[in-house]
């Protein structure tokens, strides 16, 4: 029986806290060369996985994340897709959920693991959470069963848990367990062994990778609060050139029923601008029509976002609008589960 070939994993370093090391003299933090990764994490030498790495020429803080960077990551994955068995993307945690969500839409037909991870403390700090995050992310990215990758989707691994990327939110800036997946089960938990929740893992139907790099960020956000004024609402909805509005509503998708507010939304929708309703709650979903305060929204053409996270809502719209789809087609696709981002009843 021929020996099983080693899995090959490519590490893509984009920037963020995980790639910072403390200068022993100035104590300031600076990015370090990931060619010296094994010097910082000698445990990696024990892996029966062939590792390679690519580092962005100019690592960026995740607060400066932009769709152009998502395109760069997607193209890097496309170029190396047939060379390796999985990918680990090292990324700042603040906007990691946006990047994971965007990549899940951009990389259609994905049949290999893309595991995003990072840390709350730089890898050069003694108490860093980065070492364990990288080690286990690599193990998951290289894991196979009967010659096939166990994970075939874009995920986030953080603090012993693997999440579907487009289901995550960053909810904590102080603790190591920085992420949650409010409306979808954890895909795996790392303890003595890595236990996969096989029923929750995405099972792709299309086996050919198609990479979509056209994104349109002409999107506005209208976050409701008690007492929001007409002039503020108008200033957002009447922004020149917008193609879509993500409206963050109360509870199960509820909003004020004041005449002026409904009229403003009506006028916006008549212009062919998509209005997508997502809840401000971390858990639960939009159920337009369940209460009187959301029935009118449904009636005038506001699109219910079900249990989409805000991050997934924004990036899904960027993806759909980038394909030059008509408003009618965008609306149709928003209500479909494209990459495991929605729980459809």
Q: Is 344 exposed, middle or buried (0-12, 13-18, 19+ CB in 10 A)?
A: exposed
Residues 47-85 pLDDT 10s = 889 998 898 888 788 888 999 999 999 999 999 999 999
Q: Which residues pair with 22 in a beta bridge?
A: 29
CB 93 within 8 A of CB 193: no
**Residues 175 and 230 reside in one and the same domain:** no
- Boundary residue ending a domain (150, 179, 211): 211
**Residues 294 and 312 reside in one and the same domain:** yes
**Residues 161 and 308 reside in one and the same domain:** no
**Residues 185 and 248 reside in one and the same domain:** no
Q: Which residues pair with 246 in a beta bridge?
A: 221, 276
List active site positions. Answer: 17
Q: From first to last of the 345 residues of the chain, give the pLDDT tens digit.
A: 445 688 999 999 987 767 666 666 666 666 655 655 666 777 777 788 999 889 888 878 888 899 999 999 999 999 999 999 999 999 888 899 999 999 999 999 999 999 999 877 776 677 777 778 899 999 999 999 988 999 999 999 988 899 999 999 988 777 677 789 999 999 999 988 999 999 999 998 877 999 999 999 999 999 999 999 999 999 999 999 999 999 999 999 999 999 999 999 999 999 999 999 999 998 999 988 787 778 899 999 999 999 999 999 999 999 999 998 899 999 999 999 999 999 975
- Structural domain that includes position 200: 7-211
**Residues 192 and 232 reside in one and the same domain:** no
CB 117 within 8 A of CB 90: yes
**Residues 259 and 187 reside in one and the same domain:** no
Inside any domain, residue 195: yes
Helix (H, G, I), strand (E, B) or coil at 196: strand
- Boundary residue ending a domain (211, 236, 255): 211
Handedness of CA 234, 237, 242, 247 (dihedral sign): positive
pLDDT at 214: 97
Cβ-proximal residues to 23 (8 Å cutoff; 6+ apart), any chain: 29, 30
Inside any domain, residue 140: yes
Inside any domain, residue 343: no
pLDDT, mean over the chain: 89
The CATH number linked to 241 is 3.40.50.40
Inside any domain, residue 16: yes
**Residues 167 and 204 reside in one and the same domain:** yes
The CATH number linked to 192 is 3.40.50.1170
Widest Cα–Cα separation across the chain = 74
CB 17 within 8 A of CB 122: yes
CA distance 340 to 323: 19
Q: What angle, rounded to 10 degrees, do the helices at 259-270 and 292-300 form?
A: 30
Other C-beta atoms within 10 Å of 294: how many?
Answer: 24
Inside any domain, residue 341: no
CB 311 within 8 A of CB 208: no
**Residues 197 and 235 reside in one and the same domain:** no
**Residues 91 and 108 reside in one and the same domain:** yes
How many domains, the chain? 2
User: Which two three-digit tokens encode residue 182?
Assistant: 């409010």
CA distance 322 to 117: 27
Inside any domain, residue 345: no
Inside any domain, residue 90: yes
Q: What is the per-residue DSSP string for 125-194?
A: STT-SHHHHHHHHHHHHH-EETTEES--SEEEEETTEEEEGGG-EE--SSSS--EE-TTS--SEEESSSE
User: Which two three-digit tokens encode residue 107?
Assistant: 């990389």
**Residues 146 and 175 reside in one and the same domain:** yes
pTM above 0.85, yes or no: yes
Inside any domain, residue 344: no
**Residues 197 and 254 reside in one and the same domain:** no
Residues 181-226 pLDDT 10s = 999 999 999 988 999 999 999 998 877 999 999 999 999 999 999 9
**Residues 227 and 200 reside in one and the same domain:** no
- Boundary residue ending a domain (165, 180, 211): 211
């Amino acid at each position: 029986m021929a020996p099983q070939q080693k899995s090959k994993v490519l590490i893509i370093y984009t920037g963020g806290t995980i790639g910072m090391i403390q200068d022993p003299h100035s104590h300031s933090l600076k990015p370090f060369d990931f060619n010296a990764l094994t010097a910082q994490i000698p445990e990696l030498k024990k892996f029966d996985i062939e590792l390679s790495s690519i580092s962005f020429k100019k690592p960026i803080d995740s607060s400066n994340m932009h769709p152009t960077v998502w395109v760069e990551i997607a193209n890097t994955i496309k170029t190396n897709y047939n060379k390796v068995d999985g990918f680990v993307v090292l990324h700042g945690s603040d906007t990691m959920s946006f990047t994971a969500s965007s990549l899940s839409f951009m990389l259609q037909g994905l049949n290999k693991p893309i595991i995003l991870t990072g840390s709350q403390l730089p890898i050069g700090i003694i108490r860093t959470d980065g070492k364990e995050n990288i080690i286990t992310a690599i193990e998951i990215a290289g894991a196979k069963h009967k010659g096939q990758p166990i994970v075939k989707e874009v995920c986030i691994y953080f603090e012993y848990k693997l999440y579907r990327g487009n289901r995550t939110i960053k909810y904590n800036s102080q603790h190591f367990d920085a992420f949650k997946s409010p409306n979808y089960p954890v895909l795996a938990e790392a303890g003595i062994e890595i236990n996969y929740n096989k029923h929750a893992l995405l099972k792709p139907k299309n086996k050919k990778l198609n990479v979509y790099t056209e994104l349109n960020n002409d999107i506005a956000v209208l976050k409701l609060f008690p007492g929001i004024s007409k002039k503020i609402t108008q200033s957002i909805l009447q922004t020149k050139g917008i193609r879509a509005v993500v409206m963050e509503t109360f509870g199960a998708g509820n909003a004020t029923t004041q005449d002026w507010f409904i009229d403003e939304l009506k006028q916006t929708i008549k212009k062919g601008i998509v209005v997508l309703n997502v809840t401000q709650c971390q858990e639960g979903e939009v159920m337009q029509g369940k209460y009187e305060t959301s029935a009118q929204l449904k009636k005038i053409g506001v699109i219910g976002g079900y249990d989409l996270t805000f991050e997934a809502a924004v990036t899904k719209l960027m993806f759909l609008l980038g394909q030059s789809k008509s408003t009618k087609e965008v609306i149709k696709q928003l209500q479909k589960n494209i990459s495991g981002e929605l729980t459809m009843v």
